Amino acid sequence: MLKNYFKIAIAVLKRRKFFTFISLFGISFTLTILMVLTAFIDKVVGDTYPDKKRDRSLYINRIQESGKDNLQSSTLSYYFLSHYTSMLKTPVKVAISSAFNGTNTYVNNKKIAVNYKYTNAEYWDVLDYDFTEGKAFNSQQVTNADRVAVISEDMKREYFGDAPSVVGKYIEADNVNYRVIGVVKNVPITDYMLYSDIYLPYTVSKANYKDKGYMGGYMGILLANSKGDVQKMRDEYENLMKRVPVERKEFTHLYSHANPFLSAYLDTGNEQHSGVSIALMAISVFVFIFTLLPTLNLININITRIMERSSEIGVRKAFGASSKTLVYQFIVENLILTLLGGVLGVALSLLALYLINNANLIANLELSINFTVLFIGLLVCLVFGLLSGVYPAWRMSKLNVVTALKAQ
């Protein structure tokens, strides 16, 4: 039966090639956009390099103080993170690092943009960077404020060219020379909490990391001993924050949370607005609008197709075909059309991702279609096919036999 439906569907597609082109274009183009979007989200949220212990980590990247008429929100100071997290008993390690800052340096009269960040020694224990050369700085080097640096592969290539090894060489950042002691694989800039070209000990920072103010340029990662300790660690930090006094009299409330990765990544900096909710709403609205328009267009095309086949419907009804059988046939035909558009959409998605990756629009961001993305794409195809096929099929089932035959 399905084989016959498939043959009929192919014959119908060949009969009106322009309508077929419009239908397939709408389906495949919509699917391509959705799959590229899904691949981007999957990469940004799902890629765990170098954050491979994410399932037992919590992230602190924001503090907010608010009063009746005032509100201020920022990343945290090194003092706040080191002082208060040292009171927690559950974390086995606390990684502290600054947000990355940009500067320019020159090599052979060539300007190179450099992003650098400061970290503590535990940062290298909590995160699992892949070292292609050398190693990370240790706590002794941090305490001594040694001018040492870990650099990314991209920075090595851009700054030192084709040099086989750069450990022991010097690199300049923010008008200071640092001795390179390690090279790590690149992190895409979309992972803003971990990305940098150069990693330096926080003790060499020109800013006063001993300042006891709450706000600064640092973020923290709490690492639990096991996944089972994560909630306990989160509760412990929440209880701790209830005991931390506000800094100044004009503020009445102080907020800071140790969140799972996604909540921290999408933190809006405002306690009243959840970044996760805003992101989900924005994505839902985008997907709804982007799929609604081609779906409505496909419904109209399908109705036109079906009305053109009213004589066929009338004959089949006259020979005893039930409305249920005809509805089933037209839905299957539409699903076949949609799946053909889906296959074309997957091919276009692969081409689009190849072009995006080669264009290097976002440094080190390599998009790909994985099984999750492929499953979502196929699911969208099926929903697409059902949505655009059910209503025209229902309209067709209501055709009277005599009316259908007269239409010829």
Residue 5 has pLDDT above 70, yes or no: no
Task: Work out the average pLDDT over 239-251.
Answer: 91
The domain limits of the chain are 1-46+277-406, 71-249
The pLDDT tens digits for 166-180 are: 999 999 988 899 999
Report percent pLDDT > 90 for the chain.
44
DSSP 8-state symbol, 360: T
User: Are 148 and 179 in contact, with CB atoms under 8 Å apart?
Assistant: yes
**Residue 44: its H or E element:** helix 17-46
Is the pTM value of this prediction over 0.95? no
Band the pLDDT of 405: cuts 50, 70, 90.
low
The pLDDT tens digits for 261-300 are: 999 988 877 777 777 788 888 888 887 887 777 777 777 7
Query: Which of 107, 124, 103 minimizes the C-alpha distance to 115?
Result: 103
Band the pLDDT of 183: cuts 50, 70, 90.
very high
Tell me, what's the pLDDT at 258?
Answer: 96
Task: Work out the average pLDDT over 316-340.
Answer: 77
Higher pLDDT among residues 5 and 186, named by residue: 186
Q: Residue 118: helix, strand or coil by DSSP?
A: strand
Angle at the Cα of 263 (from 260 to 268), degrees rounded to 5?
145
Band the pLDDT of 243: cuts 50, 70, 90.
very high
Distance CA 353, CA 320 (A): 50
Higher pLDDT among residues 311 and 202, named by residue: 202
Report percent pLDDT > 70 for the chain.
93
Tell me, what's the pLDDT at 51?
Answer: 94
Tell me, what's the pLDDT at 402?
Answer: 66
Band the pLDDT of 30: cuts 50, 70, 90.
confident
- Give rounded-to-5 percent helix, strand, coil for the chain: 50, 20, 30
- Mean pLDDT rounded to a whole number for the chain: 86
Tell me, what's the pLDDT at 404?
Answer: 61
Task: Work out the average pLDDT over 337-358.
Answer: 86
Q: How is 258-303 classified by DSSP, letter by letter?
A: -B-HHHHHT--S-TTS-HHHHHHHHHHHHHHHHHHHHHHHHHHHHH
Tell me, what's the pLDDT at 403?
Answer: 67
Residue 32 has pLDDT above 60, yes or no: yes
Residue 360 has pLDDT above 80, yes or no: no
Tell me, what's the pLDDT at 119?
Answer: 97
